[in-house]
Structure 1
Amino acid sequence: MIQTILFLSTSSGPGGAERVISNLATSLDPARYRAVLCLFRQGWIQERSESRGVRTHIIPTCGMTDWRWALRFRRLLDEEHVDLIHAHEFDANVQGAFVAAICGIPLVATVHGKHYFWEKCRRRLAYRWVSRQATMVAVSEDLKQFIVENVGACPERITVLYNGVDVPMPPRQAEVDACRKELRLPHGDQIVGVVGNLYPVKGHQYLIEGIPAVLKKCPNTSFIFAGRGQLEKELKDQVHRLGLDERVHFLGLRQDISTILALLDVFVLPSLSEGLSMAILEAMMAGKPVIATRVGGNPEIVLDGETGFLVPPRDSQTLADQLVTLLTNKEQAAQFAARGKRRAEGQFSLQTMVHAYQSLYDKCLRSNP
């Protein structure tokens, strides 16, 4: 019998959590599961999922106490004959758990990051309740420990399941060359890149602070930032003040991330906080050496000195030093890239993640006949 899994998302993206949801929904075993998606608002994830054949519903919400949303969501569960809800992030986890408890439907509640749920007492209490009502999942051991310490949830009630990414089809060299030409990257330059929304938590400003030190040692280096967000103007102003306009390129939201990654000599993620970074996993899967900050789940992905470098957050000088190390040592960079790719393919593949979640779904469904 095919089971219907409804994915409920707080955000419509684009972002790492949204890619996880879309990839899961479109990769479940069709002989065993049927995927449905429910969102609070229209957005990127709706377009991406519908283009892949996932039926999508939009039910706007006014927050945790929106009883009209709860009634409409309950009707949707009946109409779609939902067997299990898989919710993602705070609002979806709490609101979904409330309706699931009323309907007697099992719910998996995945937490992707440390966003705000611990700052207010009522949110901590809500998540503590969710951890008792649902099967709570953290995407890293670091995040699980954070939830235990800040929410008061029992560690036995939280399962760690790592995010996974698909093994990409390498772009054709002609596509890479065309992209380089489109971006007007000087021929012969080494390319350092970041993929991530331009939000304060991603720490882009600290990489930009370190760029002058990199250019002193490696003058033929260009930097590309793929992503959009609230700090775009501020970051561009910072680049202009430092006189880096010819060396730093802001690309906005890109749909050709595999081609962007193929351009890179080094991938950097200077985040101040992470759950489990999809961007790092995609860079490793693409065979790129990684420099990331020692925050969140990053040390669970990047093995310092083996598959990349880990640096302290907000430390522009150390970040610049490690960048120079990889840009001037091709052999070490190639070793990091090869080891990182093997690690990503073995432990953080999409297939591994899908298999883990399907096993969890089966366990929840068996315990809720």
Structure 2
Amino acid sequence: MQVKVLFLSHDNDLKGAERCLLELVTHLDLNRFKPLIVLPWRGPMEEKLKQENVYYMVRFLDRWIPSRHRASWNHPFKYLPGLRNRLWSLLSLIEREKIDLVYTNTSTILEGALAARRAGIPHVWHIHEHLRGNADLRCYFPTTWIDRITLSLSDRIITPSKALADNRFHGSEKVRTVSNGVNLAAFRSGDGKRVYMELGIPQNASLVTFVGGISKRKSPIDFARAAVMIHRQRPDVHFLLAGSTNDPVLEKNIRDLLKQARLNDCFHILGFRSDVANLLAAAKVHVSTSLQESFGLTLIEAMASYKPVVATRCGGPEEVVADEETGFIVEPKNPQAIAEAMLKLLNQPDLARRFGEAGRLRVEKEFTVETYAHQISEIIEEAIRTYERPT
């Protein structure tokens, strides 16, 4: 008998959390599960679900924890009046579709947890983000309150790293850690030559990639500062920064820095890209300079592409990257250390190749999408099996 699961997405973009959800629902065993995905509005993820023939619908879900660039002083006053109608909409959907379990993707939406409690069915909350110190989110309640609410309204909580579980839930028996997974086939066939041709990069140049968007938490300005240092020694190296801009002021600061250092011709700011596999195929080294990271999805994507990585010590990456085996872990907010690690890999091709091959093997053993989907499937079934309806 199929388990009917209602998956709620906080966004219809294709950033980290949405990509994790997309990989999950497209790798579930359809003999065991019947997924229905609710998207809050139309966007790129909808097209992916159509291509994969996944059952979905669009119903507005507001965020009780909005992003900084969407937040305003009166957000709670706009959020609360519509909450009742959004709950009734989900409850009618749960009843009509005979849903067995609600699965909320990210901390930022609350309606799914409330609707599951009201309907008397289990709820799984997949938490992808830190709250304390997260420069990208705006919390209107103390983070300790939010974590308690999350625990009380969940039968199981999934986190991508032990670091995040310890940071937010302090060893609760409801928490299960499941590392994010990558589709190995998708990162075996990237076309790096296409990227070189598109950007007009000389074939003999080396390319360093950063994929993650322009936000304070990702700290791409440290990547730009490291690029300035490297350019003095290796003017043949090009740098690529891909991802949506959540902070226009930060983007301007980066562009001003590049202009002052005369790096505009070899530093490429691309915005959002759906062809991450091609970007990573073109890279010699992949870099993450985050100040806070719950996991590091692009790190395993780069490792799956046989690329050595440089990442900052900020939580999740330490559980992903084997330091001095698949890449280097350096301290955050330290462009000098980031640049030195990048140069070591750029200047020692044999070392970079060895790290890249070791990274691929590590992903094959620990971070496949098949393992990811299997472990979450077990958690969903466990939540249903052990569910006790609140009195």
Normalising to structure 2: TM-score of the pair? Answer: 0.88
Q: SS of the residue aligned with 2:374?
A: helix
Counterpart-to-counterpart distance in 2, 1:118 and 1:48: 29
**Counterpart selection for 2:211 from 191, 195, 203:** 195
Q: Distance in 1 between matches of 2:285 and 2:143?
A: 39
How far residue 255 of structure 1 moved from its aligned partner, in angstroms, is: 2.1
Q: Which runs of 5+ in 1 are unaligned?
A: none
Give the Cα separation in 2 of the matches to 1:256 and 1:171: 13
Larger deviation, residues 212-221 vs 357-366:
212-221
* Aligned twin of 1:76: 93
1:268 to 287, 295, 318: 287
1:152-231 aligned at under 5 Å gives the runs 155-169=172-186, 175-230=191-246, 231=248
Letter of the aligned partner of 1:132 in structure 2?
S
SS of the equivalent of 1:254 reads coil
1:279 aligns to 2:279 (yes or no): no
Distance in 1 separating the partners of 2:45 and 2:256: 31
Task: Report SS of the residue matched to 2:108.
Answer: helix
Amino acid across the alignment from 1:145: D
Structure 2 counterpart of 1:160, which letter?
T
1:30 equivalent in alignment to 2:30: yes
Separation (CA, whole Å) in 2 of partners of 1:103 and 1:90: 20
Measured in 2, the distance between the counterparts of 1:168 and 1:32 equals: 24
Q: Post-superposition shift, 1:338?
A: 0.9
The answer to whether residue 158 in structure 2 is matched with residue 137 in structure 1 is yes
CA offsets, 1:122-141, max 9 Å, x none? 55324313213311111100
Deviations 1:185-235 (A, max 9, x none): 122011111111222211110111121221222221010112121344442
Q: Which segments of structure 1 move beyond 6 Å, counting only runs of 4 or more?
A: none
**1:362 to 2:378 alignment:** no
Q: Deviation string for 1:129-164 (max 9, x for gaps)?
A: 321331111110000111036xxxx52222111111
Alpha-carbon distance in structure 2 between the residues aligned to 1:229 and 1:204:
11
Task: Find the residue that maps to 2:35 and give its secondary structure.
Answer: strand
Stretches of structure 2 that go unaligned for 5 or more consecutive residues are 65-79
Q: Secondary structure at the match of 1:255?
A: coil
Counterpart-to-counterpart distance in 1, 2:179 and 2:322: 16
Is the Cα–Cα contact under 8 Å of residues 116 and 122 in structure 2 kept in the other structure? Answer: yes
Is the aligned partner of 1:49 residue 2:43?
no
Q: 1:147 to 1:171 in 2, by over 3 A?
A: closer
In the other structure, the counterpart of 2:70 is none
- Residue by residue over 1:86-141, the C-alpha shift from the partner in whole angstroms, topping out at 9 and shown as x without a partner, is 1111233x321111111111111011011458955455324313213311111100
List per-residue Cα deviations over 1:25-52 (Å, max 9, x = no partner): 1110011111111122222222222221
Mapped to 2, the partners of 1:252 and 1:60 lie a distance apart of 26
Residue aligning to 2:128? 112
Distance 1:196 1:161 in 2: 21
Q: Give the match for residue 334 of structure 1.
A: 353
Deviation of residue 236 (structure 1)?
A: 2.3
Q: CA RMSD in A?
A: 2.0
Query: In structure 1, what is the Cα distance between the partners aligned to 2:192 and 2:329?
Result: 28
Tell me if structure 1 keeps the 8 A contact 2:107–2:128. Answer: no
Q: Deviations over 1:251-306 (max 9, x none)?
A: 22222211111111000011111111111110011110000011121000001111
Q: Which amino acid aligns with 2:23?
A: N
Are the equivalent residues in 1 in contact too, given 2:10–2:61 (CA < 8 A)? no
Cα 1:71/1:83, change in 2 over 3 Å: same
Instruction: Assess if the C-alpha contact under 8 Å between 1:132 and 1:157 holds in 2.
Output: no
Q: Contact 2:192/2:280 (CA < 8 Å) preserved in 1?
A: no
CA distance in 2, matches of 1:267, 1:11: 26
* Other-structure match for 1:313: 332
- Contact 2:194–2:278 under 8 Å retained in 1: no
The yes-or-no answer on 1:295 pairing with 2:311 is no
8 Å CA contact 2:129, 2:294 repeated in 1: yes
Paired residue type of 1:148: F
For residues 158-181 of structure 1, give each alpha carbon's deviation from its aligned partner in whole angstroms, at most 9, with x where no partner exists. Answer: 2111111110346668x4323311
